[in-house]
């Protein structure tokens, strides 16, 4: 079953990996930061080797976004960011895993200080019973 | 024409070609690659030279040659290892040579399925490997069927082969102790492929591989290999009886048509007759497993001329048996529906109550969909709407969600 793992974050300045630009992450002792980064690398290569990772992208600065709203029967363009929320969509991963439990296990390992990880099931024609 | 013949020949011969290679060379990944190369050689040569009299022997000969060529081209260390392996085939004393056409037609397919359903592999890996090695589907076809990129499926397959290698899995029948569990795994894999294909046909993506039919073909081979295995017979009967409903299962827009509203004149009578005949052959033998029970339930539905004429009493008895043989939340759900139809919605709803506290069921759309349906039957419109809403929230199936939203609208809430 397919899930999207969404990373909501606000690196300053905007950059990837987001952890390098987050105060909450920068404030950690070096060995802890090193461990967290290594764990992230590990879950990524594990997903890849298992054939569970379908894809993912790191997204550009939300300030660089272009927004299109519908007005008087046609699109009206303006510049971003889309929302004034304190976190923005910074990147996403699409995974295809055996169960919801596995998806939750993976998503938890994407979590880090200073950002929010959101796990959402993907809708599809066949659908799953979970 | 030759293209079509080639595809048919390949699908039929793939397990036998692989079987012959595996007897000699052992490693599944290498043998699959060589078999694939032989298939490619056939694709370029047969249209010119014509299809050989004995396509299997031709394919085995070419694949063996490729395997040996590759072995020679590899490093000295790898070469020594491979030659060593080639000198010590798994069952050299009893197996025919790779160029001979063995008389073990059915055994090859089953043995290969047993290998692909090795307990060291996860279910999805077993499924993917079986479709690749036994059904002879290409990686691209399997990837398309499961809606994942080819690269992802390639990684999944190579991880599965490596796991088999590490586990020391062999191309041989499992021991007597292992056999029952392995047959059960094989049937589960076939059934998973079937349900995948069956639910997918209700969707929007057209897939060029008919997974459901592929599953029936594989199960049929298991049934031929193990004619006295009651559950293999039951699984085949179940798939035929379910597959029979396919033409009535979706409307012209591709939306799901529930059993109650299906046009039964569109059911395939031939498949129903075959399924019922298989059941009649196995049920009197005494041992009754989950597939036979599910098939028996499907047969009762098939015998009813309309939904209203369904023998719900008999179906609720069968579900009661199934909930003892193979208890599962989904069985309880179906049991509740049958009981509600036979004895009234409140009796059915009471059966569902324990599921509401089960963590695994909290996100299961079917629980809420069934409750909604029974509450609606009982005239509890508000509660029914709430359950349809919850079901539509948690399902990940697009057609299912459309169906649930339609029911919700019909309630006017």
As a three-state string, the secondary structure of A31-58 is HHHHHHHHHHHHHHHHHHHHCCEEEEEE
Choose among A41, A123, A32, A97: nearest CA to B123: A97
Chain A interface with B: residues with Cβ < 8 Å: 1-2, 48-55, 96, 98, 100, 121-130
Bigger pLDDT: B89 vs A77: A77
pLDDT for B200: 61
Name the minimum distance, in Å, from the CA of B195 to any CA of chain A: 10
User: Which residues in chain B are closer than 8 Å to A100, comparing Cβ atoms?
Assistant: 363
Task: Give the chain B residue nearest A53 (alpha carbons).
Answer: B152
**Tokens 């699109």, residue?**
A75
Structural domains of chain A in order of their starting residue, each with its CATH number = 2-121 (3.30.70.1060)
Decide if pLDDT at B89 tops 50: no
Phi, psi (5° rounding) for residue B279? -65, -45
CA distance B149 to B386: 38
Choose among B125, B249, B269, B135: nearest CA to B199: B249
Which of A2, A125, A128 is closest, CB to CB, to B205?
Answer: A125
- Beta-bridge mates of residue A7: A91, A117
Percent of chain B surpassing pLDDT 70: 87
The SS3 call for residue A67 is strand
Structural domains of chain B in order of their starting residue, each with its CATH number = 1-89 (no CATH), 315-413 (1.25.40.10)
CA distance B158 to B57: 27
Express each pLDDT in B318-344 by its tens digit: 999 999 999 988 899 999 999 999 999
Choose among B34, B37, B46: nearest CA to B9: B46
Decide if pLDDT at B83 tops 80: no
Decide if pLDDT at B357 tops 60: yes
The SS3 call for residue B215 is helix
pLDDT for B103: 44
The CA radius of gyration of chain A, in Å to the nearest whole number, is 17
pLDDT for B219: 94
CA distance B174 to B182: 8
CA distance A28 to A112: 11
Residue A109 Cα to chain centre, angstroms:
12
Structure tokens at B385: 């709407």
User: Crossing angle, helix B179-200 and helix B211-225, to 10 degrees?
Assistant: 160
Bigger pLDDT: B49 vs B233: B233
A123 with B196: Cβ contact below 8 A: no
pLDDT for B392: 93
Phi, psi (5° rounding) for residue B7? -60, -45
Task: Give the chain B residue nearest A49 (alpha carbons).
Answer: B155
Average pLDDT of the residues in B62-87: 68
Express each pLDDT in B111-138 by its tens digit: 899 999 999 998 889 999 999 988 888 8
CA distance B302 to B240: 11
A125 with B155: Cβ contact below 8 A: no
Structure tokens at B282: 């196995």
Mean pLDDT of chain B, nearest integer: 85
Average pLDDT of the residues in B156-179: 89
Q: What is the pTM of this model?
A: 0.78
Name the minimum distance, in Å, from the CA of B30 to any CA of chain A: 19
3-state DSSP percent of chain B in helix, strand and coil, to 5: 75, 0, 25
Determine contact, residues B21/B31, Cβ cutoff 8 Å.
Answer: yes
Task: For residue B378, give the DSSP letter.
Answer: T
């Amino acid at each position: 079953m397919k899930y999207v793992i969404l990373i909501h974050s606000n690196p300053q300045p905007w950059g990837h990996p987001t952890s390098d630009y987050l105060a909450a992450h920068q404030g950690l002792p070096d060995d802890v930061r090193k461990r967290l980064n290594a764990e992230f690398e590990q879950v990524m290569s594990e997903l890849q080797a298992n054939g569970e990772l379908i894809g993912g992208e790191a997204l550009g600065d939300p300030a660089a976004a272009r927004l299109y709203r519908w007005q008087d029967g046609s699109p009206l363009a303006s510049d971003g960011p889309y929302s004034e929320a304190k976190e923005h969509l910074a990147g996403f991963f699409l995974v295809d895993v055996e169960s919801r439990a596995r998806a939750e296990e993976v998503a938890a390992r994407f979590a880090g200080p200073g950002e929010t990880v959101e796990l959402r099931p993907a809708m599809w024609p066949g659908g799953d019973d979970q | 024409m030759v293209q079509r013949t080639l595809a048919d020949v390949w699908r039929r011969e793939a397990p036998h070609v692989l079987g012959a290679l595996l007897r000699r060379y052992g490693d599944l990944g290498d043998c699959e690659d060589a078999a694939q190369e032989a298939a490619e050689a056939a694709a370029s040569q047969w249209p010119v030279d014509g299809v050989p009299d004995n396509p299997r022997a031709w394919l085995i000969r070419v694949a063996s040659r490729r395997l040996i060529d590759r072995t020679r081209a590899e490093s000295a260390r790898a070469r020594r290892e491979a030659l060593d392996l080639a000198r010590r085939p798994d069952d050299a004393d009893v197996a025919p040579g790779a160029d001979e056409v063995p008389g073990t037609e059915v055994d090859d397919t089953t043995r290969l399925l047993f290998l692909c359903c090795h307990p060291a592999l996860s279910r999805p890996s077993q499924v993917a490997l079986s479709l690749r090695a036994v059904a002879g589907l290409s990686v691209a076809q399997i990837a398309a069927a499961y809606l994942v990129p080819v690269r992802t499926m390639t990684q999944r397959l190579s991880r599965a082969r490596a796991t088999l290698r590490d586990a020391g899995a062999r191309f041989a029948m499992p021991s007597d102790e292992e056999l029952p569990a392995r047959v059960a795994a094989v049937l589960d894999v076939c059934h998973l492929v079937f349900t995948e294909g069956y639910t997918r046909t209700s969707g929007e993506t057209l897939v060029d591989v008919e997974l459901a039919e592929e599953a029936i073909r594989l199960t049929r081979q298991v049934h031929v290999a193990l004619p006295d295995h009651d559950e293999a017979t039951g699984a085949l009967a179940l798939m035929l009886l379910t597959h029979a409903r396919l033409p009535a299962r979706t409307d012209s827009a591709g939306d799901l048509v529930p059993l109650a509203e299906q046009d039964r004149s569109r059911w395939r009578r031939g498949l129903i007759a075959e399924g019922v005949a298989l059941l009649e052959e196995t049920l009197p033998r005494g041992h009754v497993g989950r597939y036979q029970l599910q098939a028996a339930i499907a047969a009762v539905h098939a015998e009813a001329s309309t939904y209203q004429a369904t023998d719900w009493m008999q179906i609720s008895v069968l579900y009661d048996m199934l909930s003892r043989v193979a208890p599962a939340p989904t069985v309880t759900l179906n049991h509740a529906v049958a009981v509600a139809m036979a004895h009234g919605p409140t009796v059915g709803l009471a059966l569902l109550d324990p599921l509401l506290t089960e963590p695994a069921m909290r996100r299961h759309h079917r629980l809420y969909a069934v409750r909604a349906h029974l509450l609606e039957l009982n005239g509890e419109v508000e509660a029914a709407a709430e359950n349809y809403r919850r079901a539509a929230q948690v399902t990940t199936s697009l057609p299912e969600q459309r169906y649930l939203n339609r029911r919700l609208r019909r309630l006017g809430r």
